[in-house]
Amino acid sequence: MIKTFPGGVQPACLKNETIDKLIKNAPVPREVIIPLLQHTGAPCEPMVSAGSRVRTGQVIARSDKFISSPIHASISGTVKKIDRYPHPVIGSFNAVFIEGDGADTKETSIKKTDNVNLLSEDEIRDIVRECGIVGLGGAAFPTHVKLALPEGKAIDSFILNGSECEPYLTCDHRLMLENPAGIIEGMAMMLRLTGASRAYIAIESNKIGAAFALEKILRDKRYNTLNAKIVILKTKYPQGAERSLIKSILNREVPPRGLPLDVGCVVSNVGTAFAVYEAVFNGKPLYERVVTVTGSCVAEPSNLRVRIGTPVKDLVDALGGLKKDVYKIIFGGPMMGLAQLSLDTPVIKGTSGILFLSKEDVAEYAETNCIRCGRCVDVCPLNMVPADIMRFVKKEQYERAIEYNVEDCIECGCCSYECPSKIPLFQWIKLGKTEVLNLRSAK
Ligand code: SF4
Ligand code: SF4
């Protein structure tokens, strides 16, 4: 039976340009600019300075805070400087500039293993941390933290998220088709670390090929004890959001301001599982990732394995340039992604896609008055009342907004997408979240 959650929307799919294309390696860039914050948590401090020689995969920045993740050089060469630079999520941030030597010499301090069973849980978690693995679905939460359950917490279910519900994006889909064994090995390690007794692999109904590829691996007797099964979900946005997945698969609701852990569950993306596999089996830090580069302006839309810190313009060149004028560049998908101002912006760990959209692709409408139709409520996957929250935020009544659970908004944008009056509800709600956060930290 195909499962789903209440609410959500069905935007056009727009994945066809890249869905059948094998993942290719992007050229190794001549220069990378690697921001010192690429994850949820404390920023890293540089461990190199101008003139330092570095190897691909060498740690160049870290923090001693638990919720943080080390950052690695993505090419070999020489550090030119550390300076502020455009950042795709937070405007600008300090970054390490590395000029490549063309050799791509690898750091080999993290050992490969042939038998993961010889490693303890703590050793695996240390490798995951040392390799800088973060959630690759977008939030970039440090994976070693997610895999270290707090004292007194236990979970019964692990959800591997292969739903990839954003239009345009196909990087997870391709990874599931091309590397299913690595994904299952990574998931097996995550199950061991979290103690979950069963796993659900969540795949939308438009990716049946990926479901078959993973199912074939699961049939191997090595994985009999995993207690894992594939769950086919309705193709609907935002099916891949943690709360939607948990509702669709387990029929559990994460409480207001709660976490999946509160309902006995951990959710992780398929790309993250593969990165865990590569770290533990191959000793490979997270210095590159698969990115969908697409949109009507790109000459050759593709899925590329891209070094972290690669400026967008290098990817445009690698794909034969732009075939028409770009009106909007978006990092991520069109629903939750962030618009960028510059072709110099670098790829970071959380960059799942880069869209180059023309004016015709980007609908622009004049906002009109709310007609109280209730459609924003119908589509909100959290059953919130976006129109009311917007009114509270406009009037700076943040306590009322808190009562209406503004902080729980997952920023999916369904309310704005569906609103017939084209009211930017999501933008108001996001502003409300920021103001509430400021209020809480001022107390
Ligand atoms: S969808 Fe738009 S017009 Fe309808 S109630 Fe919500 S804000 Fe008002
Ligand atoms: S209020 Fe938040 S969670 Fe609900 S539809 Fe709008 S953006 Fe999505």
Q: Which domain holds residue 149?
A: 116-282
Which of 256, 282, 308 is the last residue before a domain boundary?
A: 282
Residue 178: count of CB within 10 angstroms of its CB = 16
Do both 125 and 264 map to the same domain?
yes
Sequence-ordered list of residues with C-beta below 8 angstroms from that of 291, at least 6 positions apart, any chain: 171, 303, 304, 305, 306, 315, 347, 351, 352, 353, 354
Nearest atom in ligand 2 to 410's CA: 3
Give CA–CA dist 414/340, Å, rounded.
21
Which of 231, 263, 282 is the last residue before a domain boundary?
A: 282
Is 44 part of a structural domain of the chain? no
**Considering only CA atoms, which residue is closest to atom 6 of ligand 1?**
376
Does the C-beta of 388 come closer than 6 Å to ligand 2?
no
φ and ψ at residue 203, rounded to 5 degrees: -135, 135
**Considering only CA atoms, which residue is closest to atom 3 of ligand 2?**
409
Expressed in angstroms and rounded, the spacing between residue 386 Cα and the centre of ligand 1 is 8
Of all ligands present, the nearest one to the C-alpha of 412 is 2
pLDDT of residue 217: 97
Indicate the pLDDT class of residue 1, thresholds 50, 70 and 90. Answer: confident
Which of 229, 257, 282 is the last residue before a domain boundary?
A: 282
Nearest atom in ligand 2 to 412's CA: 8
Is 263 part of a structural domain of the chain? yes
Q: Is 152 exposed, middle or buried (CB count within 10 Å of its CB: 0-12, 13-18, 19+)?
A: exposed
**Considering only CA atoms, which residue is closest to atom 8 of ligand 1?**
370
Check pLDDT > 90 for residue 365.
Answer: no
Indicate the pLDDT class of residue 115, thresholds 50, 70 and 90. Answer: confident
Of all ligands present, the nearest one to the C-alpha of 388 is 1
Check pLDDT > 80 for residue 342.
Answer: yes
**CA dist list (Å): 227 to 144, 150, 157, 210:** 23, 24, 10, 19
Is 201 part of a structural domain of the chain? yes
What tens digit of pLDDT does each residue of 252-296 get?
999 999 999 999 999 999 999 999 999 999 999 999 999 999 999
What tens digit of pLDDT does each residue of 171-218 get?
999 999 999 999 999 999 999 999 999 999 999 999 999 999 999 999
Does the C-beta of 394 come closer than 6 Å to ligand 1?
no
* Spatial contact of 247 and 231, defined as CB atoms under 8 Å apart: no
Is 87 part of a structural domain of the chain? no
In testing the pocket of ligand 1, which one of 368, 369, 373, 390 has its CB within 8 Å of the most ligand atoms? 373
Is 390 part of a structural domain of the chain? yes
pTM, two decimal places = 0.96
What tens digit of pLDDT does each residue of 33-90 get?
999 999 999 999 999 999 999 999 999 999 999 999 999 999 999 999 999 999 999 9
pLDDT of residue 302: 98
SS3 readout for 78-110: EEEEEEEEEECCCEEEEEEEEEECCCCCECCCC
Is 294 part of a structural domain of the chain? no
DSSP helix/strand/coil, 268: strand
The number of folded domains in the chain is 2
Sequence-ordered list of residues with C-beta below 8 angstroms from that of 309, at least 6 positions apart, any chain: 29, 32, 33, 34, 35, 74, 75, 95, 96, 98, 346, 347, 348
In testing the pocket of ligand 2, which one of 165, 414, 428 has its CB within 8 Å of the most ligand atoms? 414
Is 403 part of a structural domain of the chain? yes
Return the CATH number at 228.
Answer: 3.40.50.11540
Q: What percent of the chain has pLDDT over 70?
A: 100
Expressed in angstroms and rounded, the spacing between residue 8 Cα and the centre of ligand 2 is 9
Nearest atom in ligand 1 to 369's CA: 3
Residue 49: count of CB within 10 angstroms of its CB = 10
- Type of residue numbered 422: K
What mean pLDDT value characterizes the chain? Answer: 96
Expressed in angstroms and rounded, the spacing between residue 376 Cα and the centre of ligand 2 is 8
pLDDT of residue 113: 85
Does the C-beta of 376 come closer than 6 Å to ligand 1?
yes
Give CA–CA dist 406/357, Å, rounded.
31
Nearest atom in ligand 2 to 376's CA: 5
Is 262 part of a structural domain of the chain? yes
φ and ψ at residue 17, rounded to 5 degrees: -65, -25
